[in-house]
Amino acid sequence: LLSLYYLFKDGDQLWVKLKEMIPLPSKERDLIIRRFKEMVYAAIFGGLCIALIQGILGGLSFWVLGLPSPIFWGTAMAFLSFIPIGGTALIWGPAALFLLFQGTFLKGLILLGLGIFIIGMVDNFLRPYFISAKTNIHPLLLFFAILGGIHAFGMIGLVVGPLIVTLFLTLVEIYIQGTKSRKNLEEKI
């Protein structure tokens, strides 16, 4: 919270200093910054879409199975979906156990199956597509970037993993453009 205060207060000055620290010509520096912004916005967009989908699927599951307050629990699942490991399971897991202990085994098993194979897997399969649609990076590469980011950095890896891949791909693009420019210059000479 303290960091957020200073980012809002001094963010513009910090941004200027960070841009000055990138040891590249302004054209390449601006390309890297633009790609980073695209990836951050795409990650936020993907997270919001996943939250909405998981919340709707969770709420519908609760409604179909006759559990109380499906809108409330669906909304709770949408918010908890931002926790990468076990987020929505904090809601549908205890609800499935409740149904099992209550003696409604079929409903409990159905909710458990829906939670594991539908609600829980939405994140793994759709997040890369939502991010890919905004960044033109292949969904499979983003899938592994997200998994690697979570493994290496924890929850923040949802954004950091794709950012690292974006940086790598942008630097490769800058290198290729520079190589082409040098070849064109050599051909003219």
| Domain chopping of the chain, boundaries | 38-188
Share of the chain above pLDDT 90, in %: 30
Contacts of 45 (CB under 8 A, 6+ apart): 130, 131, 134
pLDDT tens per residue, range 136-167: 888 888 889 988 998 898 878 878 888 899 88
Q: What whole-number distance in Å separates Cα of residue 92 and Cα of residue 121? A: 13
- For residues 54 and 123, the answer to whether their CB atoms sit within 8 Å is yes
- State residue 185's pLDDT score: 65
Of the candidate ranges 22-31, 48-57, 95-104, 161-170, the one whose mean pLDDT is the lowest:
22-31
Helix axes 139-153, 157-188, angle to 10 degrees: 130
Write out the two tokens for 39. 């990836």
Please give the pLDDT value at position 108.
92
CB 144 within 8 A of CB 156: no
Full DSSP string of the chain:
-HHHHHHHHHHHHHHHHHHHHS-S-HHHHHHHHHHHHHHHHHHHHHHHHHHHHHHHHHHHHHHHTT-S-HHHHHHHHHHHTTSTTTTTHHHHHHHHHHHHHHT-HHHHHHHHHHIIIIIHHHHHHHHHHHHHHHH---HHHHHHHHHHHHHHHGGGHHHHHHHHHHHHHHHHHHHHHHHHHHHHHHHH-
The one-letter amino acid code at 118 reads I
**pLDDT confidence tier of residue 189, bands split at 50, 70 and 90:** low
Cα torsion at 162, 166, 169, 170 (round to 10°)? 180
Task: Quickly tell me which residue has 């200027």 as its tokens.
Answer: 16
- State pLDDT tens for residues 70-121: 999 999 999 998 876 778 899 999 999 999 998 889 999 999 999 999 998 8
Q: What is the pLDDT of residues 12-22, one digit of tens each?
A: 788 788 778 87
Mean pLDDT of the 25-37 span: 82
pLDDT surpasses 80 at 179: no
User: Across residues 54-68, what is the average pLDDT?
Assistant: 93
| Confidence bin at 1 (pLDDT 50/70/90) | low
The residue among 28 and 77 whose pLDDT is bigger is 77
Task: Please state, in angstroms and as integers, the Cα–Cα distance from residue 169 to each residue in 8, 21, 31, 63, 173, following that order.
Answer: 30, 20, 11, 44, 6
Q: Please tell me the predicted confidence (pLDDT) of residue 177.
A: 82
